[in-house]
Amino acid sequence: MIEGRADLPITYRILHEPRAVFGLGILGLMIAVALMAPWLAPHDPLEQDLLASFLPPSWQESGDPAFLLGTDTLGRDVASRLIYGTRTALIVALVAATLAALLGTTLGMLAGFYGGKTDMLISRAVDIWMSFPAVLLSIVLVAVIGAGLHAVIIAIVIIDWTRFCRVIRAETMVQKERDYVASGITIGLTRFRILIQEVLPNLMPLLIVLLTLEMGIAIVVETILSFVGLSVASDTPTWGNLIQEGRQYIHQVPWLLGLPVACVVLSVLSLNALGDGIKEVIDPETRQ
Amino acid sequence: MSSSYLLNRLLLAVPTLAGAVTITFVLLRVVPGDPIAMMTGPGATEADIALLRAHYGLDHSLLRQFVIYLGQLMTGDLGTSISLRQNVGELIVGRLPVTIELVLFAMLTAVSLALALALKGTFWRGRWPERIVDGFIGIVVAIPDFLWALSLILILGVAIPVMPIFGRMDLTISFDSWTNFYLIESLLRGQLEVTRSVLHHMVLPAVSLALPLMAITARVLKSCLNAEMNREYVTLARTRGFGRLRVIYSQALRNALVPATALSGVQFTFLIGGTVLVERIFGYPGIGNMAIDAVINRDLPLIQGLVLTFAVLFIAVNLLIDLFITFLDPRLRHD
């Protein structure tokens, strides 16, 4: 691949791809907010003040400057709940996406590289998995595992490993036909060693893109499960909890729905932009 | 398309369905919540609970329960719902028309919008409006149906309240339906007031479901069209004096549809899965909404029946898409 800027370091090229920069910027902001939540949040996110419930954002007429973005049904500070919700969202996104990637990539590489019975078994499993509606499966899973962040993470891993498995399997099959694999076999390397030391590094760029996209999906799934009321106990602040409350009282307090939805949309958009941006830089086929 | 191919595909669906049934069954039996306890409330005696447990067959061993369940399935009996105390098959058949109408309407919306976007984008190839189309697709594709539903409620239900955001039709209208296919039935029976209300309530949930599918289909179709536009036959047609629009419609589109359908086919099943949440958000009385209630109530027979229904729908849609592809591409018919 001969391309104008291909010789420049990859980090440089990513930092000059607008979508990637946008995605990185928002992601960085989210990480900062999550890390500094105790200092940023003006209130304890669980502190109730029943006399101050349903307050609108502070710039509106009956707003209270002490509650910047208003309060919820129990008089909890919406801004603080959003800030702590960022924490929950990021933890779920990072942990669930990484674990799903580990499981899916391992199985995908095995299926793609060894073929035969291994492939048949794994592909069949993927087929069965895909015949479930993902949302329904995740709801059933969380009902099985019980409420809590760990349940959400396990549910995401159990459902979304197929996304990695399908793509990685296909790419491994492509890589397997490359000359470097044949050379490895000729000089006497074991097939397992070729798979780990030679094929895996070539899968990395694709894997990073998938991982970024999966983080966005994980954030949405966590929101969905909180929305359905099955995710975490309501004393853990999540965007989904707010959304669920907001949907119930939509006509009284539309901001209670609007603000967390905006947070989820923004984080999903930025992670997608980051994934697309990285793909654009590292994938020679999308470049003309 | 030989009939043996079709038969083969149908046979392949059997182990998939069997797998789905087994996994759901096993998963649900390790659920900690006790459906009988949820059903009886605190006043029930031990004997009452044991009686009910026996009534629903929950007192047998897991393996025995599974064998009984499979035996019932073979005869088409999906069991009795624990929370609603009705036959699961009848419950699902009653609600299924609601979801089918919604899904078909959403798919139709998605496909027609996707066609329009992809064709327009291809027509504007290499000029600035194409970038706008691409940017629009890029943003729409990133946002899942769940978030579209909530955003549309906020924008068109609350900020500018022009759309209903709850239910299937106005509660003030009464409609005694025979089939539960409100839209089609009311149209056929000439009760246009009902049709109008049902359509009005259907717009937001259907659009929420349609937007992600529309964006992916448009993106795939557009890139397939682009590939076709670089082929020699297109250049040839253009040099012979055919207009760009005519070449796209009458030549490139047909060739691009085959790979585009194959690539975006899976997305149609995602739309069906999306009904679970979208129906919930809009209080739409279909099987998706029912599924969430079933999980919350630990209604094992109902959950099993619904998961099976969804799996059958998924497989049916995949099969239809395959049939459509072979219909489009005569080369595939005689394999």
Distance from CA of A128 to the nearest CA of B (A): 5
Partners of A135 on chain B (C-beta within 8 Å) are 273-274, 276-277
pLDDT band at residue A129 using 50, 70 and 90 as cut-offs? confident
Same domain, B67 and B144: no
Q: Do both B184 and B308 map to the same domain? A: yes
For residue B70, being part of any structural domain is answered with: yes
Tell if the CB–CB gap between B158 and A227 is shorter than 8 Å.
Answer: no
Give the residue from B74, B106, B127 where a domain finishes.
B74
Find, in chain A, the residue whose alpha carbon is nearest to that of B139.
Answer: A269
Contact B145, B278 (CB under 8 A): yes
Looking at the fold, whether B260 and B175 belong to one and the same domain comes out as yes
pLDDT of residue A152: 87
Would an 8 Å CB–CB cutoff place A36 in contact with chain B?
no
| Cβ distance of B298 and A143 shorter than 8 Å | yes
B153 within some domain: yes
- Say which range, A3-17, B112-126, B157-171, has the weakest mean pLDDT: A3-17
Minimum-distance CB partner of A128 among B20, B139, B310: B20
- The answer to whether residues B18 and B126 belong to one domain is no
Same domain flag for B143 and B272: yes
**What pLDDT was estimated at residue A2?**
42
Nearest neighbour of B147 by CB, restricted to A247, A250, A261: A261
Instruction: Give strand ranges (E) for A126-221.
Output: none
- The answer to whether residue B272 sits within a structural domain is yes
Contact B144 A136 (CB under 8 A): no
Kindly list the residues from chain B whose CB atom is less than 8 angstroms away from the CB atom of residue A242: none
Res B114 pLDDT > 90: yes
* Band of pLDDT at residue A233, cut at 50, 70 and 90: low
Same domain, B149 and B292: yes
Are B266 and A131 in contact (CB < 8 Å)? Answer: no
Q: Give the number of domains in chain B.
A: 2
Domain-located, residue B183: yes
**A21 against A68, higher pLDDT:** A21
Residue B2 falls inside a structural domain: no
Q: Give DSSP secondary structure letters for chain A.
A: ---TTTTS-HHHHHHT-HHHHHHHHHHHHHHHHHHTHHHH-SS-TT---GGGTTPPPTTSTT--TTSTT-B-TT--BHHHHHHHHHHHHHHHHHHHHHHHHHHHHHHHHHHHHH-HHHHHHHHHHHHHHHTS-HHHHHHHHHHHH-SSHHHHHHHHHHHHHHHHHHHHHHHHHHHHTSHHHHHHHHTT--HHHIIIIIIHHHHHHHHHHHHHHHHHHHHHHHHHHHHHT-SS-TTS--HHHHHHHHHHTTTT-HHHHHHHHHHHHHHHHHHHHHHHHHHHHH-TTT--
Whole-complex ipTM: 0.83
Average pLDDT, chain A: 84
Select the residue of B20, B142, B306 nearest A268 (Cβ to Cβ). Answer: B142
In this prediction, residue A284 carries a pLDDT of: 56
> Same structural domain for residues B29 and B122?
no
Flag if B17 and A131 touch (Cβ within 8 Å): yes
Quick check: A211 contacting B, CB < 8 Å?
no
Same structural domain for residues B203 and B227?
yes
pLDDT attached to residue A95: 96
Distance, first Cα to last Cα, chain A:
11
In a domain, B5, yes or no: no
Domain final position from B42, B74, B106: B74
Predicted confidence band of residue A262 (pLDDT cuts 50, 70, 90): very high
Out of B31, B139, B292, the one facing A228 most closely (by C-beta) is: B292
CA-to-CA dists, residue A143 to A129, B31, B42, angstroms: 18, 7, 22
Question: Which distant-in-sequence residues (6+ apart) come within 8 Å of A22 by Cβ?
Answer: A270, A273, A274, A277
Prediction pTM value: 0.86
Domain extent, residue B46, equals 11-74
Query: For position B104, which CATH number holds?
Result: 1.10.3720.10
The reply to whether B307 and B164 lie within a common domain is: yes
The answer to whether residue B162 neighbours chain A at the CB level (below 8 Å) is no
In this structure, are B261 and B303 located in the same domain?
yes
In a domain, B57, yes or no: yes
Q: Domain check: are B96 and B233 in the same one?
A: yes
pLDDT tens string A137-196: 888 887 777 778 888 899 899 989 999 999 999 899 988 888 998 899 899 888 889 998
Domains by residue range for chain A, with CATH = 10-287 (1.10.3720.10)
- Minimal CA separation from B186 to chain A, in Å: 30
Residue B83 lies in a domain: no
B227 and B146 within one domain:
yes
CB contact under 8 A, B291 and A139: yes
